Structure 1
Amino acid sequence: MSKRGWILAVALTALFGTRGALAADGFVLSSSTFKDGEPLPQKSAGNNKSNPNCVGENVSPELTISNAPVGTKSFALLIFDPEGRPPGGVNHFVAYGIPASVTSFPEGELSKPSDKFVGGQSTMKLPTYFGPCTPAGAPHHYIFTLIATDLDAKDLKEGMTRDELIKALDGHAKGATGLIATFSHP
């Protein structure tokens, strides 16, 4: 198994345990901004003038959803950096209540509030995408996990953290898929 496959398998197992749903046949999350296993462009990195590791423009990558499992009512999307802020990692984005009719997010759309998702609470206490602010040197991995659920947006409270969302989705996940990006700067 490739390193990318191993990281995604570990991430999905951490999300759902052995009882959870893994990638359903044909359920895919893809991006025209980056290829699976390859680096995010610098424009997708975080933008915070007080942090020298935030070297980007905070433009969320384009994402496309295809072949959702039958019976999907909504999606949840998590972006997680397992190497950031040891030992807990960094949650860069927590969103849910994404209607099953949504098939894509254009570049930059996740960086601002939208009626296409309910913003949860990232590690930075934000309800929107905040890109990598990776320390110089070795790249970090950014795991994009899309979860198909049998829940409507109204079934989930606003402002949940990643852990609260995972608990709320227990028994409601119909499948999951994902992408892994890397990011580093000199």
Structure 2
Amino acid sequence: MPVFTPHTADTAPDAARPTLAAVSRKFGYLPAAVALMAESPALLTTFLTANAGFEAGSLDPVQREVVVLTVATRNECHVCVALHTAMLTRLGADAELVDALRAGTPLPDDRLEALRRFTLAVLEHRGDVPDELTRAFLAAGHQPRQALDVVLGVGVYTISTFANRLTGAPVDPPLAGYAWTPAG
């Protein structure tokens, strides 16, 4: 028997219903991950609010996707990898960049690679990033504000990746072409 219920607007807790309706309008369907997060209206609202803050930060859309896909592959969240691969594709990102992010290998763009390495350092060192890694991030043309926005992105997508893994969220049919399986 499944522990988590993929809610609908009719079955979700009252506090989550308006959020589910808004997400459904935005995507044209209700993503399974959101339907499962609805069990905890507080989690769902916190994730979406924090994500809106991340999107309003100093990183451009491709940079945000580098952070998200770095966290998603590191945390092995197949749902986030599929969704954010689709987003990068819609942004017109190079296939080589997308493939490298999905594989967790160095990126073809030096500035984005510095961002990926810094994101990994934030994760690996739990925020206590060694000075030389922070200096390398800044030397690649990033600003201190962007370092803090990386921390925000790591936090937001730790919530998402952990929730998706806990609930067993499946990849939605519209994203099936972007499915991902961790290497090794």
- TM-score of Structure 1 vs Structure 2, range by shorter chain: under 0.3
TM-score by length of 2: 0.26
Higher relative strand content: 1
Higher relative helix content: 2
TM-score by length of 1: 0.26
Between structure 1 and structure 2, the one with the greater Rg is 2
